[in-house]
């Protein structure tokens, strides 16, 4: 009877031990991935973060993996991985920002503009997202003007780099500098105004194009 009780107890403890082992392995893989990322060994970093996510799935590990994948040039998979991390509202703005950077690097300006704009709606005072949004809008405009023979090249402006990987547990918010409601409202108005100006310009181009065709 005592032996049976011991076997049942061991069977109950085994999953806990296995889980602890997975979490330990995941932490070690995350630490290794962060170091590799800092050394710009992005492919190796993605592999480490992939192992960490496999051992202990979480939104933080998804964020790290997607960030490393984009940095390694695997932008399509990186974007999909970051999307899975966006269910965590504390990670969503950084994930949008990094996905926007991947889109900007691929000259997918519409996607980049959408991601930066959404990141600013969540975190209006983010200067990096605002700067990169302006760059994406300018490059989109330059690309369109180049097609019509009026090329103005803003390529000299360098976008802000993406947010790096995290070593903290899921759901832990980053400390941020407090910003006034006035500044936040002004920035949102700036983003909305840029969107409206872009729409007006596109409509004007379409009307002008029709007149030329006739």
Query: Is the pLDDT assigned to residue 9 strictly greater than 80?
Result: no
Does the CA dihedral 199-205-211-214 come out positive or negative? negative
Predicted confidence (pLDDT) per residue in 174-203, tens digit: 333 333 333 344 444 444 454 555 555 555
CATH numbers and ranges of domains, the chain: 25-88 (1.25.40), 113-146+179-214 (no CATH)
pLDDT band at 148 (very low <50, low <70, confident <90, very high): confident
pLDDT band at 109 (very low <50, low <70, confident <90, very high): very high
What pLDDT is recorded for position 174? 38
What pLDDT is recorded for position 178? 35
Predicted confidence (pLDDT) per residue in 110-146, tens digit: 999 999 999 999 999 899 999 999 999 999 999 988 8
| Spatial separation of the C-alpha atoms in residues 186 and 114, rounded to whole Å | 19
């Amino acid at each position: 009877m005592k032996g049976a009780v011991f076997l049942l107890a061991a069977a109950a403890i085994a999953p806990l031990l296995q889980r602890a082992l997975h979490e330990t392995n995941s932490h070690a893989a995350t630490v290794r991935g962060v170091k590799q990322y800092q050394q710009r060994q992005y492919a190796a970093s993605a592999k480490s973060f992939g192992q960490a996510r496999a051992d202990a799935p979480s939104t933080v590990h998804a964020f790290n993996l997607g960030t490393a994948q984009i940095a390694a040039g695997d932008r399509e998979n990186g974007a999909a991985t970051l999307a899975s991390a966006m269910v965590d509202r504390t990670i969503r703005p950084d994930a949008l920002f990094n996905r926007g950077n991947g889109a900007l690097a691929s000259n997918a300006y519409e996607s980049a503009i959408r991601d930066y704009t959404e990141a600013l709606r969540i975190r209006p005072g983010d200067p990096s997202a605002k700067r990169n949004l302006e760059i994406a809008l300018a490059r989109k405009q330059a690309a369109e003007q180049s097609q019509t023979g009026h090329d103005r090249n803003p390529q000299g402006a360098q976008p802000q780099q993406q947010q790096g990987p995290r070593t903290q547990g899921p759901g832990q918010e980053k400390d941020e500098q407090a910003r006034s409601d006035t500044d936040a409202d002004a920035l949102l108005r700036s983003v909305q105004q840029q969107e409206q100006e872009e729409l007006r310009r596109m409509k004007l181009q379409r009307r002008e194009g029709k007149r030329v065709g006739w």
